[in-house]
Structure 1
């Protein structure tokens, strides 16, 4: 569940009075997501998503997130558009939390995406990368290579209980990534969390991307690696090269990958799988039972780490 801060009708009505969105008709909490409190708000002028930013989000990052969504939407990328208050600001305050509203994006996220859907995501991601190239604000990736070992040290003592091989395999991969991580690849704004539940479809067509609250500046190919991990494995952890090939070919048709990006892809995929294993492991061992955070199994990403460790070239992901 993702409603950590409840709000009253009176509080919401006062908040909405600062916007030109009409009168409140109804609202309800949204159960999906783990970082913030989210509500679907109906007014006389339409539907909106209201987000109250909780303590895990740095308030100083909010101009980047909101400004990026506006920048991308103005350049034709389908994503929620921040709603401005009457004073021109995109950010307000509600129930003691920073709060913002964005337009409602029609669509659903797919529980069982097919290769055609992976191609849609590849095309859309490439378009997003190009559209963000002239975005003026910058934000460091707070979960990149330099952050992984400190995160690992916080939960290492509990790793044996997850899998007896987790400690040696994680430390071997960390050593390798720290020695060989590619640092001169094309960079720009990346989503960094483009999992299926952050991508909406209408039928088989991409409707848009949501949840830009991990967006940052990093290598474009790292964003691709996150997507290959998120979209191209089946529930039994088997890699689906047909989905990967569809995704990569569609991306490459819009923004062709450089030779350096293609050569780096196996290492970037291994790094992306390690990143999500580490955050899942941390939440798994550090989150108290009964909390509102939904804990996800880190073993899924251990399986992916092992797969990428055997890959030697981008051709094994279906890239010609």
Structure 2
């Protein structure tokens, strides 16, 4: 369940009255997601999403995320636009949490990508990079190259509690990344977490790009590498689907070019992306209390991806 902060109906009604979006008719907690509390809000004028940002999100980063979403939406992308209240403020406080009302987008979260949907999602990422090329705000990637190496060192002492061979895999990949990470790739505003469940679709049409709360400034091609790992393998990482990978890259190229330098180091970036999600999942697996509300995700699903990528080189 992704509602960690419960808000009484009366409190919600008073809160919604700050906006020029009609009166509250209904509110329902949304089960999807693991980072924040989300409510589906119906008013007399339409449907919206209310998000309360939980402790895993740094409040200081929220103006960046909301500005990026607004910029992307105004550029014609299917990105939910933050709604401002009557005083022009998008970021609010509700029940002791930072909060924001955003547009509701139609569509269903992707669960089993087809090649056609991979192409559409790749094109959506390319369009995102094109539209945000003039977005001026900067946010460092806390899980960029240096951050990954730091997190890997923190995970190493207990990694074998997850799998007897996991520490050796992490240590060897950290050494490879330290030696091969390309430092001179084009930088851009990237989503950094564009997994299938962060894309809404109807049929083979992308209707929404959501959850920008890992967005940052980093190597542009790394964003495509993240999607490769997220879209082109089975959920458990045991099966690679080359037809999905081909479609994903073709879709991206239809909207944004990939330079020769980016293409040349894509295998390194794909391994780095697999390492990033392996490490964050391993950290949560080892450090999340058993009674916590956050559901832990299996780090071995990305260990399998990483092994496949290493063997493919």
TM-score by length of 1: 0.95
Q: What residue in structure 2 maps to residue 303 of structure 1?
A: 304
Q: What residue in structure 2 maps to residue 102 of structure 1?
A: 102
Question: How far is 1:158 from its partner?
Answer: 2.2
Structure 1: distance between partners of 2:203 and 2:53: 31
Which secondary structure state, in structure 1, belongs to the residue aligned with residue 38 of structure 2? strand
Structure 2: distance between partners of 1:98 and 1:19: 16
Structure 1: distance between partners of 2:44 and 2:62: 27
Cα shift readout 1:144-188 (whole Å, capped 9, x = no counterpart)? 111123222333232112221111111111011112101111111
Question: How far is 1:276 from its partner?
Answer: 0.1
Query: Is residue 12 of structure 2 the alignment partner of residue 5 of structure 1?
Result: no
Q: What residue in structure 1 maps to residue 20 of structure 2?
A: 20
Is this contact kept in 2: 1:130–1:255, CA < 8 A?
yes
Query: Is residue 178 of structure 2 the alignment partner of residue 185 of structure 1?
Result: no
Q: What residue in structure 2 maps to residue 285 of structure 1?
A: 286
Structure 2: distance between partners of 1:149 and 1:191: 21
Structure 1: distance between partners of 2:256 and 2:9: 47
Is this contact kept in 1: 2:229–2:273, CA < 8 A?
yes
Q: What residue in structure 2 maps to residue 92 of structure 1?
A: 92
Structure 2: distance between partners of 1:297 and 1:51: 26
Q: What residue in structure 2 maps to residue 245 of structure 1?
A: 246
Question: How far is 1:67 from its partner?
Answer: 0.7
Which secondary structure state, in structure 1, belongs to the residue aligned with residue 294 of structure 2? coil
Structure 1: distance between partners of 2:171 and 2:309: 15
Q: What residue in structure 2 maps to residue 232 of structure 1?
A: 232
TM-score by length of 2: 0.97
Structure 2: distance between partners of 1:48 and 1:263: 43
Structure 1: distance between partners of 2:218 and 2:105: 26
Question: How far is 1:235 from its partner?
Answer: 4.2
Structure 1: distance between partners of 2:32 and 2:208: 17
Structure 2: 5+ residue runs without aligned partners? none
Structure 1: distance between partners of 2:160 and 2:235: 24
Query: Is residue 59 of structure 2 the alignment partner of residue 59 of structure 1?
Result: yes
Q: How does 1:248-267 map to 2 (within 5 A)?
A: 248-267=249-268
Cα shift readout 1:250-304 (whole Å, capped 9, x = no counterpart)? 1112211111000110000000000000000011111111211111110110011
Is this contact kept in 2: 1:3–1:30, CA < 8 A?
yes
How many correspondences in the alignment? 312
Q: What residue in structure 1 maps to residue 271 of structure 2?
A: 270
Which secondary structure state, in structure 1, belongs to the residue aligned with residue 55 of structure 2? coil
Structure 2: distance between partners of 1:128 and 1:148: 25
Cα shift readout 1:68-99 (whole Å, capped 9, x = no counterpart)? 11100111111111101111111111001111
Which secondary structure state, in structure 1, belongs to the residue aligned with residue 208 of structure 2? strand
Cα shift readout 1:2-47 (whole Å, capped 9, x = no counterpart)? 1111101121122112110110101011111111111111110111
Which secondary structure state, in structure 1, belongs to the residue aligned with residue 312 of structure 2? coil
Is this contact kept in 2: 1:267–1:308, CA < 8 A?
no
Which secondary structure state, in structure 2, belongs to the residue aligned with residue 310 of structure 1? helix
Q: How does 1:213-232 map to 2 (within 5 A)?
A: 213-232=213-232
Q: What residue in structure 1 maps to residue 212 of structure 2?
A: 212
User: Could you list the runs of 4 or more consecutive aligned residues of structure 1 that deviate by over 3 angstroms after TM superposition?
Assistant: none
Cα shift readout 1:229-266 (whole Å, capped 9, x = no counterpart)? 00001246221110000110111122111110001100
